[in-house]
Amino acid sequence: MNKIHVDASKEYDILLDKGLINRIGELINPINKSKRVAIITDDIVNTLYGDKVSQSIEFQGFSVDRFVFPNGEKSKNIDTLSDILEFLAKIGFRRNDMLIALGGGVVGDITGLAAAIYMRGISFVQIPTTLLSVVDSSIGGKTAINLRYGKNLTGAFWQPLMVICDIDIIRNLPDGLFAEGMAEVIKCDVIRGMNIIEHVENHSVLDNLDKIIENCIILKRDIVQQDEFETMGIRNILNVGHTIAHGIEKLSNYSISHGKAVGTGLVWESMLASELGLCDDKYVQKIRRAVHTYSLYMSVTYNLDTLIDAMVTDKKNTDSRVTFMLPTTDKVCVERKLCINELKELLKDVRRVYL
Ligand SMILES: NC(=O)c1ccc[n+]([C@@H]2O[C@H](COP(=O)([O-])OP(=O)(O)OC[C@H]3O[C@@H](n4cnc5c(N)ncnc54)[C@H](O)[C@@H]3O)[C@@H](O)[C@H]2O)c1
Structure confidence at residue 319 (pLDDT): 63
Cα–Cα distance, 55 to 69 (Å, whole number): 20
Q: Output phi, psi for 260, to 5 deg.
A: -65, -40
pLDDT exceeding 90 applies to what percent of the chain?
A: 87
Return mean pLDDT, the chain. 94
At 354, the pLDDT band (50, 70, 90 cuts) reads: low
Structure confidence at residue 253 (pLDDT): 86
Taking only the tens place, the pLDDT of each residue in 139-174 is: 999 999 999 888 899 999 999 999 999 999 999 999
Structure confidence at residue 351 (pLDDT): 81
Structure confidence at residue 330 (pLDDT): 81
Cα–Cα distance, 136 to 196 (Å, whole number): 16
pLDDT exceeding 70 applies to what percent of the chain?
A: 97
What length does the chain have? 355
Stretch 267-291: mean pLDDT, rounded? 94
Pocket of ligand 1 (CB under 6 A): 42, 44-45, 48, 71-73, 76, 103-107, 109, 129-130, 132-133, 136-137, 140, 142, 152, 169, 173-174, 177, 180, 258
Coil, strand or helix at 59: coil
What atom in ligand 1 is closest to the CA of residue 259?
Answer: 15
Structure confidence at residue 316 (pLDDT): 54
**With the C-alpha atoms ordered 207, 209, 215, 219, is the resulting torsion angle positive or negative?**
positive
At 232, the pLDDT band (50, 70, 90 cuts) reads: very high
Select from 333, 319, 141, 151 the least CA-distant residue to 238.
333
Q: How far is CA 157 from CA 6, 8, 253, 269, in A?
A: 15, 11, 26, 28
The set of residues, in sequence order, having a beta carbon less than 8 Å from that of 89 and lying 6+ positions away, is none
Coil, strand or helix at 43: helix
Range among 60-74, 306-320, 333-347 with highest mean pLDDT value: 60-74
What atom in ligand 1 is closest to the CA of residue 184?
Answer: 6
* Residue 331 clears pLDDT 90, i.e. is over it: no
The set of residues, in sequence order, having a beta carbon less than 8 Å from that of 77 and lying 6+ positions away, is 145, 146, 147
Q: Angle formed by the axes of helices 242-251 and 304-312, to 10°?
A: 110
Cα–Cα distance, 152 to 127 (Å, whole number): 20
Structure confidence at residue 300 (pLDDT): 85
- Distance of CA 131 from the midpoint of ligand 1 (Å): 8
- Look at 193 and 187; give whichever has higher pLDDT: 187
Structure confidence at residue 312 (pLDDT): 77
Structure confidence at residue 207 (pLDDT): 96
pTM, whole model, 2 decimals?
0.94
Structure confidence at residue 33 (pLDDT): 85
- Look at 72 and 331; give whichever has higher pLDDT: 72
The residue whose CB lies within 8 Å of the most ligand 1 atoms, and thus the one to mutate among 41, 43, 44, 113, is: 44
Q: Which residues does the annotation mark as catalytic?
A: 120, 142, 184, 220, 230, 235, 239, 242, 246, 258
Q: Output phi, psi for 128, to 5 deg.
A: -70, 135
* Residue 341 clears pLDDT 60, i.e. is over it: yes
Taking only the tens place, the pLDDT of each residue in 92-119 is: 999 999 999 999 999 999 999 999 999 9
* Residue 249 clears pLDDT 70, i.e. is over it: yes
